[in-house]
Chains A and B, each alone.
Chain A
Amino acid sequence: MPSDQRQVESMIDNAFIQTLVAEHGRWLMAFLRALAGDDAEDAFQEVWVRIYRRGELLRDGTVKAYLAKTARSVVIDRLRRRHLEISLDSGDEAGESTADIADSAPTPAQRFESKATAADVRAAVAALPLNWRQVVLMRIEGEMDFKEIAAELGVPLGTVLTWMHRATVELKRKIGGMK
């Protein structure tokens, strides 16, 4: 299997798409299910069709980051087409004060242990505000660095870091207690 760098330079044809699906389908599907919920399978198909139709060489970064960006874009476009109100700023109004966040943060010495199931985790992630959820998934599944995520979302780096921190605290609060 070619390295990520060589895949970036490959032409996108049918066979190459199927290769990408085999290699990246699992994490991409997890990404879309957490971001798009029941619309994940349709979004999954649209991601690959969109990439295929571009026909362009992948230019920047890794394949994973490219796929994560495309997937996020597909989900946002689908939500807009369905005329859902997306409160993109809801992540800033979660109702938690800075003091609450600081008090609930676990100590760095603790390793994370939980008996939460996959369904528990997915539900907890799905319950996050969209902005937080995007950052978490682009970071965890897309393996994008925070600068890349900030550029993709069009927000300052500090905002992305804040969203990630708040999302992490919220997720740990929900699923960290399942021991």
Chain B
Amino acid sequence: MTEDGFFNEFLRAKLEEEVGVIPAVTLPVAGWRMPFRRRNFRFLLAASIAVVCCAFAVLFVWDGDQERECDAAQVIAFLEACRNGEEPEADEGVEAVNFGERLLAWQDAPYYETLDDVFETCAVDFDPFTDVNGSF
């Protein structure tokens, strides 16, 4: 052993000489403790899923409600105009489409539910496919 080696051994012995009683170690309750990397990964995965779910919920609710409200008003106005024999205000892109096909377009999801609301609101016996002018 080199001279420095003896010195290091001397230092080690002296440093450990005065340690005395080793303190007792109290560990926290394990609970759901898991390795850091797995814990971190699961947290990130759960957080990501939660964010995506929230985003879908917001988009679905926002889009559905907003468009449903707009579409409901438009459909009601359109059908009432048809029932009254008025010239309905056609929406952009549907002006050239006949009445039946217009109604079919309104029946596309998520507008189908809107159409049901409109039937209940506009008339009891109103059948848009037979009671209005326009080809089907």
A residues lining the B interface (CB < 8 Å): 13-14, 17-18, 21-22, 25-27, 29-31, 33-34, 41, 44-45, 48-49, 52-57, 106-112, 114, 116-122, 125, 136, 139-141, 168, 171-172
Contact = CB atoms under 8 A, between A and B. Distances in A.
A114 B10 CA distance: 9
B109 interface: no
Contacts of A120: 14
B8 A139 contact: yes
Interface string B49-88: 0000000000000000000000000000000000000000
Contacts, number: 101
B19 A30 contact: yes
Contact of B6 (A18, A111, A140): A111
Contacts of B33: 52-53, 55
A143 to B, nearest CB: 9
Closest 6 CB pairs of A and B: A121-B14, A25-B22, A118-B18, A30-B15, A118-B17, A112-B7
B21 to A, nearest CB: 9
Nearest to A165: B4
B60 to A, nearest CB: 39
A10 to B, nearest CB: 13
B26 A45 contact: yes
A119 B27 CA distance: 31
Nearest to A13: B30
A110 B15 contact: no
Contacts of A30: 12, 15-16, 18-19
Contacts of A49: 25, 27-28
A108 B26 CA distance: 46
A108 B25 contact: no
A121 B15 contact: yes
Contacts of B19: 26, 29-30, 33
A135 B25 CA distance: 26
A55 B37 CA distance: 9
Contacts of B16: 26-27, 30, 141
Given A33-B19, A118-B18, A140 B36 contact: no
B45 interface: no
B93 interface: no
Nearest to B10: A112
Nearest to A176: B7
A119 B22 CA distance: 18
22 contacts: A17-B27, A25-B22, A25-B23, A26-B19, A26-B22, A27-B12, A27-B16, A30-B16, A33-B18, A49-B27, A54-B36, A107-B3, A108-B3, A112-B6, A118-B18, A121-B10, A121-B15, A122-B14, A140-B11, A141-B15, A141-B16, A171-B11
B36 A55 contact: yes
